[in-house]
Structures are given as C-alpha cells and as structure tokens.
Amino acid sequence: MTHPSDPGPAPVLALKDISKSFGAVRALRDVSLELFPGEVHALAGENGAGKSTLIKTLAGVHRPDAGQVLLDGTPVAFHGPGDARDAGIAVIYQEPTLFPDLSIAENIFMGRQPRRALGRIDHKATHAATAGLMRRLGVELDPDRPARGLSIADQQIVEIAKALSFDARVLIMDEPTAALTGSEVARLFGVVRTLREQGAAVLFISHRLEEIFKICQRVTTLRDGAWIASEPLDGMTEDDLVRRMVGRDLDELYPKQDVEAGEVALSVRRLTREGVFTDVSFDVRHGEIVGLAGLVGAGRTEVARAVFGIDRWDAGEVEVDGRILTNGAPSTAMAAGLALVPEDRRAQGLVMDMSIERNIGLTGLRTTVRAGLMDRGAERSRSLDWAVKLQVKYARIADTVNTLSGGNQQKVVLAKWLATGPRVLIVDEPTRGIDVGTKAEVHRLLSELAADGVAILMISSDLPEILGMADRVLVMHEGRLAAEIPRSEATEETVMAAATGRAAA
Amino acid sequence: MTVTAPNPAPAAEVPKSSGTRLVDRVFRMRELAILVVFLVMIAVTQAGNSEFLSEQGIKDLLLNATILVLVATGQSLVVITRNVDLSVGSTLGISAFAAGLYLQDGGNPVVAIALAVLLGIGFGLLNGLLVSFGQVPALVVTLGTLYIIRGIDSIWVGSRQITAADLPDGFVDFGSGGVSAVPYLALIALAVLVATAYCLRQFGSGRELYALGSNPEAARLAGIPVRKRILIAYTFCGALAGLAGALYLARFGNVDSSTGNGYELTVVSAVVVGGVVFTGGSGSVYGAALGALLLTSINSVLPALGVSSVWVMAINGILLVLAIAVDRIVALRVASALKKRNARHG
C-alpha cells in the first residue's frame, strides 16, 4: 500500500491485522487500515464485506479477536463506545442515534455537559456552545428544540456537531448520504471538506461511487471480510473500484433481455385517490418491464399500494389478466397473481426477528397447510428452493433475517414474493441501499422473470436503472402520469424533464 | 412517538440567549394544565361546599396526597427510563409493618424510618438487578417481585396487626400534626420532591435517565452506563416506597398484611396522568406529583359535593384515558409543528 501525497504525517488511527468472528462467520480477516490527518478515506466493499464490523471495531463497540488498534502509533484497547469517544473518534451511524425527547443541545453534550460547582450541569454554557457549533456548521437549528421531528439531514448535522464538540480527530461516516437530497449532500460535503482542512481524518462509506470519487483521496477495499487494497483514488476509474469490490469484472449491470411483449397483464384505468394521485392509466404486458419514474413524493409508491389493495382508491379500475380487482383487498390481488415488493424492506417486507425460512414461507401459508396445520417440511423445502435460486448468502436457513446484509435481505423479500408464482410483479426501489454486485443479480433476476412472461412494474429513483432495465418508462409528476416514453427515446433528459414537469405529456 | 406536551405556537422563536428552553417550556405547559384542572376542581367544590377549604380540609387534602406523591416521585424515575416498578405497593406494605413492629418493641422513631427506607432500598436493588442485568422486561420482573414481597409479607405478618395504640405517642402526633394547615408529612414529601427534581435537572446522571428512556441504543453508543442508571432509578424508587411505608404507619397507625395492596396501579395512574410518558424519556416529577394530588383529591371532592364515592374509580379511569389521549393528540401536533419549523430552516 502506498500513500504518495503524504509528506510523512503519522496515521492518527490505524488497524493492524484485525480479525473478528461472530460464531462461525469470519467477519474480518487480517484487515489493516491507516487514517491520516487531513484526508477523507473511503471504505469500499459490497454488503457483507465487513465494513460495519470494521467501523464498530474502531468505535469500541466490538473488540477484535486478533490484531491491534493503534492510536497515534500506540496500541489501545477500547472497552466501550465511551473509550473510543474519549480518544477522539466520532462515529456517525447509518441510522442516527439521537434522543428524540431531549433538546439538540442535550443530544450533543449528553454525558459530557459543561459543569458548574458541585458537578451540576451548566445549562447556559451548553446552550452557548451548541449555538456556536451551529454557527460553525452554518445551519440554523435552535439548540433548545427537541430532536424529535428533525429531518434526516438535520439529524446528521446534530451528529456532526456532536463530533465537532469534542474536537474529534477521526470522524467515521457510515452511508451518511443514503437518505439525503442533492442539496443536503452538497451541504454535508462542504462540512466534511472543512473538517478535513482543519486536520481531521474522515472515514467515508457510501454505495454511491461517484460520491467516493468526489470527496475522498484514498480508498480501502474489503471483500468477504478480507483486505483487498488501500490506494489513492487519483487515476482510478469507477470500473477499477467495482472490480476491486466484486473481485471480477462485473457482468453487465443491466442485463436486459429483449422479450416479445405478450397480452396485457395489468391494466390500470383512470385510478384516482383523492389528494394523492389522479387519473392514472397504464398497461403492463406479459414479458415487459415498465419503469415508473418520478421525483420522490410524485405518488409512485402510492399508486403501487393502491393497485395492490393496501390503500383504497376513490375512482378507477384495476384489472389483472382480465379479472377486475376488489378495491382495498390485497388478498384478491394476490389470488389474481399480483405481488408487491415494497420499498421499505425492514418495515414492510420482512419480519426481522423471524427466520429466513419462515419469512419466505409467509406468502405460502395457504399452500403449505395440510389439514389445517402448517406443513413445516413443505415450508422448508419451498424456502430453501427459493433461497438457493436467488443465491441468498446465509449460514443456516433457520437464522433470523436481521443477521443478513441489506442486499441479502432484499433477496429474501424477492424470494418471498416470487415463491407465490406471480404473473404481475410490482417492485418498489428494488436496489436501494444494496451494493453493485447484488444489484446486478437483482437486475438479472428481473430480466429472467420478464423473459418467463411475468409482467413487471419497476418503481425506481435510480435513473440509470430505469433506463437500463425498462422497456417503457412511465413518468409521474405531482400525482399524475406526465409521460410515457418508449425505451428508444428514454434518456436522462427526457425522463427528468417529464418528472420535473417541464415537458408536456 | 409521544411527546407529552403542548407546543407553544410554532412561530414563536426562542430567544437564543435567554435561559428559557423550549423543551422545558413544553413540559411546564403540561404541568400547568393539570394544575388548572386541579384548581378548577377545588374552586367548584369550594363553591358548592364552603366547609371544604377549612384548615382541617386543606390538611386532609395534603395528608391524603403525601404518600402517593412520594411513591409517584420514585416511580417517575423508573418510568422515565422506559421501565416500570409494580412492586411498590408490596414494598410499602412490608416496610410499614417492619417499622411498626420495631416501634412496638419500643424502638426509636428515626431508626424506624431509616429501617423502612433500607428495606425499600433492598427491594429496589433486587428489582434493579433483575431488570438491568437479567435483561427481562420490567413489567414481568416487577410483577413477580410484587407477588414475592407480598408473599413474604403475608407469611411474616400472618394475622398480626399493628394499631396506633402500639406506637409511641410522638410518632402518631408527628403523623397527624403540622405547621398550621400544612402537615409535617407533606413537608417531607415536598422536600423529597424538590430535591429529586433538582437532581434530575442539574446532574448529568439525571439527564442520562431521560436519555436512556428516550433511545436506549443511542444511550449505549453515547457511553452512558445504562445498567448502573437503571439500578439507581429502581433503588431510589424502592427507597421512596420504603419511606412512604413509614409515613403510612405514622399517618394511619394501622398496618396489616394487606397494607398497600393494589397501590401500584394508583401510583402508575398518577404518574401517567401527571404527564410522564409510559414509553420513557419525557415527563417530570412535578407532573407526577400533581397527578397524585389530583387523583387523591377526587376522593375528597366527591363526598364534599355529595356524589357517591362509588364514582371515584370510574373518574380516575376517565382521567387516565383522557391524559393519554391528550398526550397523543398533543404529540401529533407538536410533531407537525416541528416539521414546519424544520421546513423553514431548510
């Protein structure tokens, strides 16, 4: 490993030959990492490559089985998150860890409040210090406001303020941009650059490769828990990085097969739900992948929910293979051969504490029942079958779903619905928050399903995905269908123009 | 999901330098609301029965509330950490009997009170250890200790009974005496209440109780000693239940094996009516104390107005449901108000 542009400062924090196992799973094997002051360092790897374990080791949550954590060159042992914090390491987790009932000021200084005589908290100083931090970050947040109700972006600002408040020398950010809009990302990057200029070391994790190239100087890649490379990003291409992460040249990310479209499978006519979407009509044919694009909040997910019967519609009609669906009845939709893979897999797609086997089995409860009792054997073989088909990576089929990485969880949701043998499949953001390798697999799978005659409606905010996978693109704008664009004419420009309401339908 | 408090108009910007804190103001509004309900109730009663607020009337009102206020104060700490202690009634009963037995044999009243408190601390520690280290839901653990302590009490006390005649005169006088209309017992409760509120607000460990009730996982990641804090909350709750036992003895002079039976539910009602959110993280001991005052006063108000006391339970229940409904509605409003503020801040 080389660090060319470093005129020789010592790493502020380093991992040396770290190994960590959870039961039989080896999460990290002899991983090394060096963080220098004044650099933003990317940590790249697919889901399940060991990034989270590495972060938690740096944060003092996990203790390594072997290897050393070096702070300023001296080995240290963190016995808990408090130790790491006292050493100047701040972690901003994927899901913000705030106290909703407490004020922003208290959130920032919890456990380290400025004190007056007799150990009493100095509320005034806490308030003033918080106001100062907010000024430094250039944001207007009232220090006395409770954290409840803050947007994800503002929650992240509070987390960053927390890191600033104890002059963190190392800032670790785990997918900070996953839930942010473009302008919020820009603001965040501004803050990160400032921190770097002030001499902090930043470890940055993101699935968005372009962000890595935008803000980071060096990158360390992990694959299956092993260290692959640490190198400067200068001169690297996205393809190089993907190759490191996946370990092979990525087969096409969008392996779309050309399929002759068949009969109309799903027909939505003048569907309206008051105040949510209006007069939405479209058809999806067997063998076709139809992309549903639009800005967040345009009503795409809402249309999908109504079609599947989760929400009621006020006017219009939905037909699956000529059968008219009952308003607000998911069970008739399922019986007609409709399946919906929801956007939020944690909240809507999976029972996180249940096993993989049971989760996949949930949609088959009707078919795997014998004489009124569950046929556990049938459930298991059905689940195993699908888990294998989709190449879900797991230790045992009886493991709970929350032990899986994000990409594998998504595969389980897919398996659960594919096991019903759907004729029409609606997928909502099928690859959000999952890594490139799994993404390509999900795309291959969708393409194969279409080739088998399944009609697919794919909602996605990922434009390249829409353009790469869809035979036709429907674009929604403020609750209405704004455009229908055939594959040949679909470009980022035409889709975005329709999505932002700049083009006539 | 539940903030307990009405939000001041969302447009009202808090002056940055003043000591007024939005979060606190919001809590005070909640407490103010209970206080208003309480005062209106008293005023109406006084109008209907001018004897109600005589010196003796006020004294009775305060005396009745004292014991509930004490136990509710301790319970609030536990509820704030997103736990609950259902064993307080049993603890109160057994401590009262222990203190009584000691006094019956000619013991010193101060030592008797200390004995009751120590007993309470012991049971509080037991609950705290089981909940924090056993990682068992508090509702189940303390339901268990409720029966265990009550069982020990029943075996130990049997059919024995302590009456005022068994107690030293000074102790009984202390229980019913006071400075004009304010009973000594109420002064003790007030002192405990103010001290607790001060510690919760002014010391790091107090704020940490709120933090870990608000988001336990975040509390762990922030390096807060979660188990230790839960242990402290339970121990304190037990200590106050013990102290309440001793004061119960002084006030009523009559203790048997069923003393404090079912009291835990009254305590939890008072705490929730007082605006301490059952899912942890918000509320104040002042609110809980006001809730206790409100609930006990209904017992005196209804007879004074000539309403049959059979209504007391139903009214307590209505108040409880109302309090939760109001909290929920207010929470939703606060959430949307905060969102609007958010939007303006971009």
Q: Which domains does chain B have, with CATH numbers?
A: 23-39+56-334 (1.10.3470)
- Give pLDDT, residue B16: 39
d(CA A464, CA A445): 17
- Long-range Cβ contact pairs of B130-134 (< 8 A, separation 24 or more): B131/B83, B131/B230, B131/B234, B132/B226, B132/B227, B132/B228, B132/B230, B132/B231, B132/B234, B133/B227
Q: Where in chain A is the domain with CATH 3.40.50.300?
A: 13-98+150-246, 251-337+422-505
Largest CA distance in chain B: 71
Between B246 and A190, the more confident residue is B246
CB-based contacts of A311: which residues, under 8 Å, 6+ apart? Answer: A273, A276, A302, A305, A328
- Which pLDDT belongs to residue B339? 60
Distance from CA of B199 to the nearest CA of A (A): 8
CB-based contact, B330 to chain A, within 8 Å: no
How far apart CA A42 and CA A220 sit, in angstroms, is 6
Residue A103 and residue A146 in contact, taking contact as beta carbons nearer than 8 Å:
yes
Hey, what amino acid is at A351? V
Record: contact A113-B208, CB cut-off 8 A: no
Matching CATH number, A13-98+150-246, of 3.20.20.70, 2.160.10.10, 3.40.50.300, 3.40.50.740: 3.40.50.300
Residue in B closest to A162 by C-alpha:
B222
Question: From the CB of residue B218, how many other CB atoms can be counted at a distance below 10 Å?
Answer: 22
Helix (H) or strand (E) run with residue A106 in it: helix A104-109
In this predicted structure, the answer to whether residue A405 has a pLDDT above a threshold of 90 is no
CB nearest to B218's CB, from A98, A121, A148: A98
Q: What is the pLDDT along chain B (346 residues), one digit of tens a residue?
A: 444 443 333 333 333 333 345 555 555 677 888 888 889 989 999 998 888 888 888 998 999 899 999 999 999 999 999 999 999 999 999 999 999 999 998 889 999 999 999 999 999 999 999 999 887 899 999 999 999 999 999 999 999 999 999 999 889 899 888 888 899 999 999 999 999 999 999 999 999 999 999 999 889 888 889 999 999 999 999 999 999 999 999 999 999 999 999 999 999 999 998 989 888 888 899 999 999 999 999 888 888 888 887 888 888 888 888 888 887 787 777 766 666 655 444 3
Structure token pair of residue A392: 């879900």
**Distance (Å) from the alpha carbon of B8 to chain A's nearest alpha carbon:** 12
Task: Give this prediction's pTM.
Answer: 0.73
Assess whether pLDDT exceeds 80 at residue A134. Answer: yes
How far is A494 from A298, CA to CA, in rounded Å? Answer: 17
> Which strands form A289-294's sheet, in the order they lie side by side?
A338-341, A424-428, A455-459, A289-294, A472-477, A480-486
Segment holding B262, helix H or strand E: none
CA distance A106 to A111: 9
Between the CA atoms of B342, B326, B268 and A106, what dihedral angle is there, to the nearest 10 degrees?
Answer: 20
pLDDT of A385 over the 80 cut: yes
Q: What was the pLDDT predicted at A47?
A: 67
Q: How far is CA A399 from CA A346, A381, A384, A395, A402, in A?
A: 16, 15, 12, 7, 8
User: Are A270 and A280 a contacting pair, CB within 8 Å?
Assistant: yes
Judging by DSSP bridges, how do beta strands A323-324 and A338-341 pair with one another?
unpaired
Query: Given CA atoms B212, B214, B215, B219 in this order, what sign does their dihedral have?
Result: negative
A150–B22 C-beta distance less than 8 A: no
CB contact under 8 A, A93 and B221: yes
- With a pLDDT cut of 70, the percent of chain A lying above it is 94
What is the rounded distance in angstroms from the CA atom of residue B205 to the CA atom of residue B161?
41
**CA dist., res. A185 & res. A211, Å (int):** 9
Residues of chain A contacting B26 with CB distance shorter than 8 Å: 146
Assign domain A251-337+422-505 to its CATH superfamily. Answer: P-loop containing nucleotide triphosphate hydrolases (3.40.50.300)
* Residue B309 · residue B107 · CB < 8 Å: no
If one counts every other C-beta atom within 10 angstroms of the C-beta of residue A295, the result is: 17
Structure tokens at A425: 């499949």
Tell me the nearest-neighbour CA distance from A102 into chain B, angstroms: 7
C-alpha radius of gyration, chain B, whole number: 21
Is the predicted pLDDT of residue A128 greater than 90, yes or no?
yes
Three-state secondary-structure class, residue B298: helix
- Range of lowest pLDDT (A285-299, A309-323, A371-385): A371-385
- B281/A123 touch (CB, cutoff 8 Å), yes or no: no
Query: Cβ contact (<8 Å) for B23 and A102?
Result: yes
Q: Which 3 state secondary structure label does DSSP give B319?
A: helix
- Distance, CA of A359 to CA of A399 (rounded, Å): 11
Contacts of A113 in chain B (CB under 8 A): 204, 207
Rounded to a whole number, what is the distance in angstroms from the first to the last CA of chain A?
54
CA distance A103 to B21: 9
- pLDDT, position B9: 37
Position B226 scores a pLDDT of 92
Inter-chain touch B21–A144, beta carbons under 8 Å: yes
In Å, how far is A120's CA from the nearest CA of chain B? 5
Residue A459 confidence (pLDDT) above 50: yes
Helical (H) or strand (E) element with A280: strand A277-285
Q: What is the pLDDT of residue B299?
A: 83
pLDDT at B317 (0 to 100):
86
Beta-carbon pairs below 8 A across chains A and B: 122
DSSP-assigned beta bridge partners for residue A272: A315
| B222 reaches A (C-beta below 8 A) | yes
Q: Rounded mean pLDDT of A373-378?
A: 78
The shares of helix, strand and coil residues in chain A, as percent rounded to the nearest 5, are 35, 25, 40
B205 interface with A at CB cutoff 8 Å: no
How high is the pLDDT of residue A397? Answer: 84
Q: Across all residues in chain A, what is the average pLDDT?
A: 85
CB-closest option in A139, A146, A151 to B3: A146
Q: Do A144 and B202 touch (CB under 8 A)?
A: no
A461 DSSP assignment: S
Question: Where would I find the H helices in A256-346?
Answer: 300-308, 330-335
CA-to-CA distance for A402 and A356, rounded, in angstroms? 9
Which stretches of chain B are DSSP H helices?
22-48, 55-80, 88-104, 109-134, 138-157, 169-176, 184-202, 204-214, 216-221, 226-252, 263-273, 285-304, 311-345
CB-nearest to B211 from A83, A102, A139 is A102
CB A263 within 8 A of CB A424: no
Place of tokens 């037990």: B238
Q: In this predicted structure, what is the pLDDT of residue A239?
A: 81
